[in-house]
Structure 1
């Protein structure tokens, strides 16, 4: 055990984690790097330059005649996947804190760092991209010293592109990161930190053994789900899976046991032996809760079953996706899906399109609310259509988040205005270094779901970085805003909004829909309503045919007869006329500003 080192790399998005991982793999001669980001195996990850799934790999390295086993766990940097990052951190004893020398410390750097400090990890600060022309190593080193309280000589300057500083990083990992501690003879205790789906072998779980040892063919139990399996194959994670007869305390490995359902393997769960079980599970396990909900509907109604199959297959790769069937008057049958955040939702849509060729309509994303009736019974509502009648509701609670924004001092004013417009409450403001400030706000999650991040980036010319974590549910004055077309409510356009914003929002919705709906042979009344009260109205005027064009001369009664006939036809048409709503109208709600 004394020659094992388990470590991860944490950083803000796009600070060079995966590129540095490539150099470490190359230097330890684990693999020959043929193209960039060897650990990011999804096309989407390579195109967008982000890590969506965390990856683990074992490297062998010899220093001063001693042979060491290094287990690297590469983590995603985006806030939507922070639970996965926290479990990866819990499986390590040390971490490389990577800071981009051209951008400095950013919001996720700090939130991931706090996670590492909570788990008592040994932190090795590394300055990346030092070969860039616009790198500012001295200034960024000052920021790191202020953040960590370390010495300047502790910070390693490196570059993922040129390979500078990689040897120093490997030396620091061996010298500073402590070896794993645990009891080889105790009952088996292993923590699952990730799982992947293999079409031939089922779900493969990745874990780190905290205490005891695991043998091939042993019967094991997953503590939180209570499921029992036979360990058909166990082994370590090289670039390919490498089978072993047994794994010991401190090892990071995988288990194949023919698991079919992604929901049976939960990140953070404990594996123990059936013959000699451990007394208690490893602390820190929690269910991943979806934060953002949206309806996914197939464009063609007959594709409903195909969409179900596609979502089930996606769920095998991504257990944090949840879905349940629902139906809408406007869109037919579809699914209400729960996502970890907006990026997660975007990625799922993209993967449905690419991997399964599914074309879907997405409704307005919203969050889950706790609705209390007059007897104070709680109902969890994910969809405005599921709201009980307003007369039965005592109060509604909505989820709040603590947002942390790091920006240059020039943009403080406009960012504060943006947060106040989104019902934010300022908690504190502190200076990170010279001209950079960190602002903390408490905000309703519903306000940041749609376009907050885009606005923040444009206000700050791309300099502000944003991170958040959920804190609690708070009572709020919310109302359900319905959109009516010719008196019929369109459930897919309903939203829950704050009382103060409702009138303004309803008016803007009606104006936008007036632009987008095609004209018909009859007037279309677009109305926004709260309960029975209409708060805004627009009318799409009818298309009219000049039926009197063929009358020239003659008595006025001839023209009147034709106009009366047209009027009767229009009246009948209005009774049975229905309005086609284009897909653009559903997306317009997201881009009202």
Structure 2
């Protein structure tokens, strides 16, 4: 949305083989809200499965632009590209220019450069900026003298002045991306603007997970790697965390599950780290029963006992699922199983339906998208946005291995699903935890109540092997002696939970 605010028009590019998808609709609505001129284009017409006429009719049904005005192109072959450029010149209006007003520019992207610091990509709305004038960020009042200003042609090209209506970059020399956030407004220090440009919102992480190095000595390397990634990614947040099972690590916040996977992959590939990631969780709001105080927690281990809580609120999302109508029942069944609430539906084109639901974020962050794709043979697509917090009947599900709580395996679940999830988790862990010389109980508990249990049997020596016949009391005496030894060993024995056990949480099947 921040990039759309820096534009006067937008190309709506639709795949000729796939048609309109959920992301297409979501971005189209954002462009319409920003009052942009829309130029519809159907791409990949060179493919054998292309249906440009049908897709053009879909576009007409959705946005009302006649199908004849939809431009069929092949970016790969260069077909009809001239028509697109002509349409941009003809339909997209020039930017409104006010050079005399105080300088205001919208930061729509940024990256960190080792020599020039944070380089902000900007769209200038008002005024002019000379290369030696000091600038100021309007959200946090940070000031800087630009090292370089320039335009994209298409590579970076230094210039002496940026004026209203231009898109360019400002090399600020700042050392952290947090000081120059995307969506912020840049103005002049000596002649600041009165109001920032609309639309700035600080990015809030939605999904949280713990990252722990498998080798304790890699903790410092993990910290350095996260700090380097944060230079280019202001939406990544992290803080130190300790776990009895996994020792020292970091609690990291991400925009979504895909963002988390990218960060984890980069840490493992670029920095050669071997990591254990705990199951992703979301941020909850809790209200204390005694004081009425409200707190925000992002780790299940931080949730107080049930008796101290008045209510727990969880984040809910508004989800739009775009699918062929033959998979209507499959999608409906999947969402209702995840505590979703049906809101409405639309038929934007023949044979296609948009289903709208409200659903808790915790239910869609692990494997919802995979199930949606497999259930609809890859045809469904999904888009979602946050709609706030709602109170729910939630409990903390804890896992005890050999009667010791493993905090990294704790999760917050709905009370109705606690027994089902606990049973599946205990069954999965039983297969992952290796046998010991003593019996290892694995328990799932909510509050003080154990709701499921499985036992990893002890490795046993056949102590009666030397007894050939004879009285049964002799065998019983040997077995009792072995039993006492196992009991004594259990009192002092510890169980190391393997990495695969933490991954078992991610692979729980809700079917």
Residue 410 (structure 1) aligned with residue 320 (structure 2)? no
After superposition, what is the alpha-carbon deviation per residue over 1:243-264, rounded to whole angstroms, capped at 9, x for unaligned?
1111111111111121111211
Identify which of 238, 245, 266 aligns with 2:181: 266
Q: What is the CA–CA distance in structure 1 between the aligned matches of 2:396 and 2:474, rounded to whole Å? A: 51
Identify which of 416, 423, 429 aligns with 1:500: 416
Show the counterpart of 2:400. 484
Identify which of 386, 389, 392 aligns with 1:473: 389
How far 1:548 moved relative to its partner? 3.4
Identify which of 59, 83, 86 aligns with 1:168: 83
Show the counterpart of 1:75. none
Secondary structure class of the residue paired with 2:322:
strand
Q: What pairs up with 1:8-87 in 2 under 5 angstroms?
A: 86-87=1-2
Q: What pairs up with 1:357-396 in 2 under 5 angstroms?
A: 357-374=272-289, 375-396=291-312
Show the counterpart of 2:246. 331
Secondary structure class of the residue paired with 1:87:
coil
Secondary structure class of the residue paired with 1:95:
strand
Secondary structure class of the residue paired with 1:185:
coil
Show the counterpart of 2:452. 536
Identify which of 120, 123, 137 aligns with 2:35: 120
Moved more, 227-236 or 238-247: 238-247
How far 1:152 moved relative to its partner? 2.5
Secondary structure class of the residue paired with 2:505:
helix
Q: What is the CA–CA distance in structure 2 between the aligned matches of 1:452 and 1:113, rounded to whole Å? A: 24
How far 1:491 moved relative to its partner? 0.5
Q: What is the CA–CA distance in structure 2 between the aligned matches of 1:418 and 1:552, rounded to whole Å? A: 60
**CA distance change for structure 1 residues 91 and 569 in 2, over 3 Å: closer, same or farther?**
same
Show the counterpart of 1:21. none
Q: What is the CA–CA distance in structure 1 between the aligned matches of 2:377 and 2:200, rounded to whole Å? A: 39
After superposition, what is the alpha-carbon deviation per residue over 1:495-519, rounded to whole angstroms, capped at 9, x for unaligned?
0000110111111111111122111
Alpha-carbon RMSD across the aligned residues, in angstroms, is 1.4
Show the counterpart of 1:102. 17
Identify which of 463, 476, 481 aligns with 2:379: 463
**TM-score normalised by length of structure 1:** 0.84
After superposition, what is the alpha-carbon deviation per residue over 1:366-412, rounded to whole angstroms, capped at 9, x for unaligned?
10000011232111010011112211100011111000001111110
How far 1:592 moved relative to its partner? 1.3
Moved more, 94-103 or 549-558: 549-558
After superposition, what is the alpha-carbon deviation per residue over 1:328-383, rounded to whole angstroms, capped at 9, x for unaligned?
11110111111111111111111111111111100010100000112321110100
Say if 2:321 and 2:354, in contact at 8 Å, map to a contact too: yes
Secondary structure class of the residue paired with 2:3:
helix
**CA distance change for structure 1 residues 546 and 271 in 2, over 3 Å: closer, same or farther?**
same
Identify which of 188, 196, 211 aligns with 2:126: 211
Structure 2 unaligned segments of length 5 or more: list them: none
Secondary structure class of the residue paired with 1:162:
coil
Q: What is the CA–CA distance in structure 2 between the aligned matches of 1:88 and 1:550, rounded to whole Å? A: 80
**TM-score normalised by length of structure 2:** 0.97
Show the counterpart of 1:10. none
Structure 1 unaligned segments of length 5 or more: list them: 1-85
Say if 2:134 and 2:188, in contact at 8 Å, map to a contact too: yes
Q: What is the CA–CA distance in structure 2 between the aligned matches of 1:377 and 1:371, rounded to whole Å? A: 8
How far 1:294 moved relative to its partner? 0.5
Residue 549 (structure 1) aligned with residue 457 (structure 2)? no
Secondary structure class of the residue paired with 2:195:
coil
Secondary structure class of the residue paired with 2:230:
helix
Task: Provide runs of 4+ in structure 1 moved above 6 Å.
Answer: 553-558
How far 1:550 moved relative to its partner? 4.0
Q: What is the CA–CA distance in structure 1 between the aligned matches of 2:219 and 2:419, rounded to whole Å? A: 36
Number of residue equivalences: 508
Identify which of 353, 357, 380 aligns with 2:268: 353
Identify which of 338, 343, 365 aligns with 2:258: 343
**CA distance change for structure 1 residues 200 and 551 in 2, over 3 Å: closer, same or farther?**
farther
How far 1:240 moved relative to its partner? 3.3
Secondary structure class of the residue paired with 1:591:
coil
Identify which of 513, 522, 527 aligns with 2:443: 527
Q: What is the CA–CA distance in structure 2 between the aligned matches of 1:564 and 1:111, rounded to whole Å? A: 69
After superposition, what is the alpha-carbon deviation per residue over 1:13-49, rounded to whole angstroms, capped at 9, x for unaligned?
xxxxxxxxxxxxxxxxxxxxxxxxxxxxxxxxxxxxx
Say if 2:176 and 2:231, in contact at 8 Å, map to a contact too: yes
Say if 2:124 and 2:163, in contact at 8 Å, map to a contact too: yes
How far 1:560 moved relative to its partner? 5.8
Q: What is the CA–CA distance in structure 1 between the aligned matches of 2:154 and 2:491, rounded to whole Å? A: 66
Show the counterpart of 1:77. none
Show the counterpart of 2:206. 291
Moved more, 145-154 or 295-304: 145-154
Secondary structure class of the residue paired with 2:282:
coil
Secondary structure class of the residue paired with 2:109:
strand
Show the counterpart of 2:342. 426
Say if 2:110 and 2:118, in contact at 8 Å, map to a contact too: yes
Say if 2:116 and 2:147, in contact at 8 Å, map to a contact too: no
Moved more, 227-236 or 563-572: 563-572
